[in-house]
Chains A and B, each alone.
Chain A
Amino acid sequence: MNGWTALDRFLQTDPRDVGCGEAMELLHVYAELAATDAPVAQRYPGIAAHLAACGPCGEDFDGLLAAIRGTAE
């Protein structure tokens, strides 16, 4: 990948992206479904689009998923 391709990828925006506020509001619901391997991105496409684009929210999702999986009985 050259610099232009990486720049283009960075500048691409997804109109379905719900933003941090809504994603954070529903993160516990989204992560719990994801932990069961449910098709959560199909159910919440706007949150999936956001988590793919927002590094900090994606990091929070990874952390919550790890917490759920680490404490699952």
Chain B
Amino acid sequence: MAPADPTADGVFPPPRFDPGSGQWVQMLSRTGPQREAGLARLHDLLLRIARGELQRRSGQLRITGPELDDLAYQVAADALLAIVAKLGQFRGESKFTTWAYKFVIFEVSAKIGRHFWSNQTVPMDAEDWERLPGRFGADPAQQTERRDLAGAVRRAVDENLTPRQRKVFVAIVLNGVPMDALVTELGSTRNAIYKTMFDARRKLRAALAANGYLNDQTTGHS
């Protein structure tokens, strides 16, 4: 369904929903038993989605059984709170349930990010550059290639990145910290961390191309 267009006077008309979505919004917008029933029904649906998503990503969590199910309940409860708080922002661009599932998916990602630090310790200032070639699948037998690659990238990082870009690059690339875990650690947002990495990648590629390590147009060692 297309988003509503503003009328000539710039005022948005009330959103038009498909029948199923309209029922959800109506139920959740009321007070009393109908709303309570709607909340309970939505919670059951969110719990089902949370269980499925946690199961799908269970390899990143290393928890199973009752602990995983407890987490599913937490995800469903937190997603339900967020959905109720943002109900007025639902514009009918998708089914209501699709929009609601998105909150579950985001909650799962955030919880996996926080969970990372509960069973791992990564010193944020550690810089083991010998790990770098392995991160990009360089052949362990190709010692010259590994040395060249690590040395060239380290120089490009030293000469081109800001301290913030370096910190993020080192955490993600050298130390293998997942982006959502880094978001938690730095009290940042996924968008901000991604933008920092995006700018760092662009700078590093330009520097490595300028120094003849990468081609401007194509891939591979020049």
Which A residues are closer than 8 A to B by beta carbons? 1-13, 17, 19-21, 24, 26-29, 31-32, 54-57, 59-60, 62-64, 66-68, 70-71
Contact = CB atoms under 8 A, between A and B. Distances in A.
A28 B101 contact: yes
User: Among A21, A26, A27, A28, which residue has the most Cβ atoms of chain B within 10 A?
Assistant: A28
Contacts, number: 130
B190 A68 contact: no
**Contact-size category for B:** 35 or more
Contacts of B105: 27, 60, 63-64, 67
A27 B213 CA distance: 37
Contact of A63 (B57, B191, B194): B57
6 contacts: A4-B213, A10-B201, A19-B194, A28-B94, A70-B52, A71-B49
Contacts of A28: 93-94, 98-99, 101-102
Contacts of A57: 190, 194
B102 A64 contact: yes
Interface of A is mostly: helix
Nearest to B133: A3
Nearest to A6: B136
Interface string B187-205: 0011100110010011011
Given A20-B194, A21-B191, A59-B109, A13 B220 contact: no
A59 B106 CA distance: 10
